[in-house]
């Protein structure tokens, strides 16, 4: 009876939390992205400190400033590329239209379609089902919302960085019980270490992937190679789906630009090989099992958080799931769930079975 009651209470609590996360997504998503930005800044600052010889001479605050400058430069470059490429796309739209029509007509010949499509027939068949004005309006509205959301995220990030100076003091005063304080410090330390390491290393690996992809696309003469490289960099944060989209979108552009199937196939093979080598060799070698999450758990979390928060939820799925795993491992009733979410069934060294208090010598990770 007690187990059934606990199951009912747990299910009700889960539904309530899910409902709050869904209706509060407009507020919670920028907050979580602000925390992610702070983790990346702090992780990059720590990485600068680990540079052989030179790292020890760089003051911690200066490393943080360099990380902030790098993030600001990346954001500015991204928006500058979007703005610049928008005008180029509009200028070359007629050329792309003719190239796309030629590709469609070749495909129609291969498929032995009797009537080769023209733009007149395509407009008649497609535009009757698509509201172009509504589509363009939603695109511009999405871009405006993205710009406003970015400002809010940067605002949250700024205040979070300021809060870091007093974070350890707040933990020390959160309870009068030293064992409780030590346990909270242990959990926050584990979260900071694993999430910070994951995001910092993932950012550097994604940057390498974007740079290599840019060089390949530039070699093949693909237009807007820098824009596609930045997009590939961001898509690499999406588990599984990001690698597929990072190849698909440039290939769609190559189909519109080129009319040589051999050239398109070579570009496809080059981008796919890059994704395979970095995703299956470099990524595991550098990151190891920093998050210790089951691939199936990552896939489920991707589906759940995408349903709750849309595309932003897909980007946040892995860090949030890792945090939940660490927190769930600290309670006897939910430790089994944490074990199921882990990759190998063993929790990290930083997590102890409930009831085994950490000593007072344990301290939170210093930001």
66, with CB counted inside 10 A (0-12, 13-18, 19+), is: middle
pLDDT for 360: 36
Higher pLDDT, 4 or 63: 63
pLDDT for 213: 94
Q: Is 250:222 a contact under the CB 8 Å cutoff?
A: yes
pLDDT tens sequence across 162-207: 888 888 888 888 888 888 888 888 888 888 888 888 888 888 889 9
Provide CB contacts within 8 A for 360, sequence distance 6+. Answer: 178, 182
* 362 pLDDT higher than 50: no
* 214 pLDDT higher than 90: yes
Determine the average pLDDT of the residues in 105-129.
59
* 243 pLDDT higher than 60: yes
Higher pLDDT, 49 or 235: 235
């Amino acid at each position: 009876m007690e187990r059934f009651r606990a199951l009912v209470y747990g299910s009700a609590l889960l539904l309530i939390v899910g409902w709050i996360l869904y209706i509060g997504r407009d507020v919670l998503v920028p907050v979580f992205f602000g925390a992610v930005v702070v983790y990346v800044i702090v992780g990059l600052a720590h990485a600068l400190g680990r540079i052989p010889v030179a790292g020890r001479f760089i003051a911690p605050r200066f490393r943080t400033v360099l990380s902030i400058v790098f993030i600001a430069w990346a954001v500015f470059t991204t928006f500058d590329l979007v703005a610049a490429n928008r005008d180029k796309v509009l200028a070359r739209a007629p050329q792309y239209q003719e190239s796309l029509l030629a590709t469609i007509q070749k495909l129609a010949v291969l498929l032995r379609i009797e009537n080769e499509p023209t733009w007149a027939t395509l407009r008649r068949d497609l535009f009757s089902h698509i509201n172009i004005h509504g589509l363009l309006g939603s695109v511009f509205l999405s871009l405006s919302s993205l710009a406003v959301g970015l400002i809010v995220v940067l605002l949250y990030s700024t205040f979070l960085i300021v809060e870091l100076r007093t974070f350890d003091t707040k933990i020390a005063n959160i309870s009068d019980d030293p064992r409780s304080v030590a346990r909270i410090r242990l959990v926050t330390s584990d979260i900071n270490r694993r999430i910070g390491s994951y995001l910092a290393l993932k950012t550097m690996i994604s940057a390498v992937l974007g740079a290599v992809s840019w060089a390949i696309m530039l070699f093949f003469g693909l237009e807007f190679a820098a824009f596609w490289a930045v997009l590939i960099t961001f898509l690499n944060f999406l588990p599984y789906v990001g690698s597929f989209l990072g190849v698909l979108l440039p290939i769609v552009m190559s189909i519109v630009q080129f009319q040589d199937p051999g050239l398109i196939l070579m570009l496809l093979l080059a981008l796919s090989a890059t994704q395979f080598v970095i995703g299956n060799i470099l990524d595991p070698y550098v990151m190891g099992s920093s998050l210790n999450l089951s691939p199936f758990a990552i896939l489920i979390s991707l589906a759940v958080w995408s349903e709750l928060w849309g595309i932003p939820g897909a980007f946040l799925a892995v860090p949030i799931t890792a945090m939940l795993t660490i927190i769930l491992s600290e309670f006897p009733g939910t430790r089994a769930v944490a074990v199921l979410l882990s990759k190998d069934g063993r929790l990290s060294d930083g997590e102890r079975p409930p009831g085994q208090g950490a000593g007072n010598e344990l301290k939170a990770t210093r930001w």
